Amino acid sequence: MCELLGMSANTPTDLCFSFTGLTRRGGETGPHKDGWGVAFYEGKGVRLFHDPEPCATSQIAQFVSNLPIKSKTAICHIRQANVGHISLSNTHPFTRELWGRCWVFAHNGQIPGFTRRTGIYEAIGDTDSEELFCDLMNQIRQNLPRDAMPEQLAANLVALSQEYARQGVFNCLLSNGDWLFSFCSTKMASITRRAPFGPACLKDIEVEIDFAAETTPKDVVSIIATEPLTHDETWDVYERGEWKLWQAGEVVASGKVDVPVHKTEKAMVSPRNLPVDRCDSAVE
C-alpha cells in the first residue's frame, strides 16, 4: 500500500515538518520506495514535485523538505507499487482541470480490474489509482453543474467513494484548492493544531519543533495522514467509511457510510482516538 499526507490551514503554512517525517517511510522506516509526489496550492496555481525514486534518498525530496513553501492546502503521496510500473507517470498526486480549477488527487489502496466509465478524462499512466481519479472526474463533470454548492459536491464525492470502496481499498485525498476531501476505507488519521501551540516530535526521525514559536494565536492547521506522524500528540483515527470535508483547517462537513470489508484489504482501521506518538502547525 501507499501513504497519504494532506494539509488544510487558514493561513499559508509550510509542510516541511510533516513532509520530513513522511519521507523517512519511503525506503527507510517504511517500504514505500516506489516514488513520491507533493502538490502545494498557491491561489489557483499548483506547485508540483514528482520523483519515481525512493523519497528517503531523493535529492528532490530533500530539497522540498528544506524549502518552506507556504500553502493553505497541500497533498502528498509516497508509493508502494502494486499496480503499474515504477515511473514518473505513475507517481501521485494526479491532477486534472475542471471548471477552471486544478483538481489534485492521491489514493491509497487497490481496486483490481477497475474500469473507468466513458468520459473526457483518460489516464496517462497504468495505475488503477489514476483510472479511479479519471472516473471520479468524469462523473462529477457529467452529473454536477459548474456552480455546484460544496454540500452537493460532497454528497457526490461520498457516493462515488463508497462505490469504489465496495470494490476494493479506497483511501483518498482530493482538492480543488478551496477545500480538501478525505475518505477512509481502511486507514486514516488527522490532527488539528490551534492555540495554545506546543512542541511536537516526529516518529520516524529525531526532529522536534516548538509550534508556539512559529505560529500566531489565530492559526489553525490540520494534518491528515495514513498513519500518525508524531509520537507525543493524540491523533483522531478515522473509522471505516468516515469522510471529512476540510476548509481553512476546519471540518465543514463530515459523515460515515457503510463500507464492507473487501478481500483485497491487508489492514483494518485502528480504534479511534488512540493516544499516539506526537508533531505539525502554521510552520508545519
Catalytic residues: 2
Helix (H) or strand (E) holding 222: strand 220-225
Reading the block at residue 100, the C-alpha cell is 477552471
User: Checking phi first, is residue 100 left (phi over 0); if not, alpha (psi -120 to 50) or beta?
Assistant: left
- In whole angstroms, give the CA distance from residue 206 to residue 212: 19
Residue 76 CA to residue 90 CA, distance in Å, equals 14
**Neighbour-count burial for 117-131, b at 16+ CB within 10 Å, e otherwise:** eeeebebebebbbbb
For cell 513520491, name the residue. 36
Q: Which of 257, 254, 252 is nearest to 244 (CA)?
A: 254
Query: C-alpha cell of 58?
Result: 531523493
Quickly count: other Cβ atoms within 10 Å of residue 276's Cβ. Answer: 19
3-state secondary structure of 173: strand
* Length of the chain (residues): 284
HEC readout, 256-269: ECCCCCCCCCCCCC
Q: Which residue has the cell 486507514?
A: 187
Q: Are 211 and 198 in contact (CB under 8 A)?
A: yes
Cβ(126)–Cβ(85) under 8 Å? yes
